[in-house]
Amino acid sequence: MEEFKNDNQSLQRDYDKEPIVIEDYNYIFEAMFYILSIFIVIYYYFINPHNAQNELSRKFFFMHAIFIIIIPGLLYYLKLAKSKRKIILNNNFIILKENEEILIQVDIKKIIKINKTFNDYYSKTQETEGVWALFSYCLTLVIIPILIINKFIFHVFKGGLKSYNFYDSIIVFDNEENFINIMPILSEEHESLRKYFLYKQNIDIKEVDKFIKIEYGYYGGRK
């Protein structure tokens, strides 16, 4: 049992009996990226009034991308959306579950770093290599603005403008190279997380350093 003092009131919570549970929405931003990509391809090949499809077909591989990358990726994440992912914080562990199966687990005692981020980087399977890494780097200037816009729209839709924070996620790393990206939607969820890390790590998540990562993508292995 932990104790936290706030405004001279003592709050107690046993996180095994009453864990914090936060829905994981990271896959949504990847799906939104695929959807936007499909609209771009459709515009250039079917709507563009300047008949630029011939030039684009010589310089780029949009038509290949839509069938090899975009549609398979979109179908994967739409399927994933049906399987509820959630992050559970109890007394000893932070756990990412999918349909009650543990995907990632971080031991509280092994945490070495806590940061805030706007990235939707949540799994080592997002790491890219070879041509995919180059592809990810080249698209960084496109992906990050799209991600920021998508997140803003999502937060406003789900929690309202007052709940939006640019660095909206907390990413937790342990000493075994595991990490979990936690994105609270409501102000109440963020405050619960803040109290939790004050209890467990004596760290105020409002004051932690920022984490920004660009060398990852949506094109490698998925988990």
Domain residue ranges in the chain: 2-201
pLDDT at position 21 is: 96
**Using the 8-state DSSP alphabet, how is residue 12 labeled?**
E
Answer for the pair 184, 193: CB distance below 8 angstroms, yes or no: yes
pLDDT at position 54 is: 60
Dist. CA 183–CA 98, nearest whole Å: 16
Dist. CA 109–CA 95, nearest whole Å: 14
pLDDT digits (tens, 9 = 90+) for 151-160: 898 898 888 8
Q: Are strands 169-174 and 111-117 parallel, antiparallel or unpaired?
A: antiparallel
pLDDT at position 1 is: 45
pLDDT at position 7 is: 42
pLDDT at position 3 is: 47
pLDDT at position 19 is: 95
**DSSP state string for 97-152:** EETTEEEEEEEGGGEEEEEEES-----GGGB--HHHHHHHHHTHHHHHHHHHHHHH
Q: Which residues of the chain have pLDDT under 70?
A: 1-11, 30, 33-38, 40-74, 76-83, 217-223
pLDDT at position 160 is: 86
pLDDT at position 211 is: 96
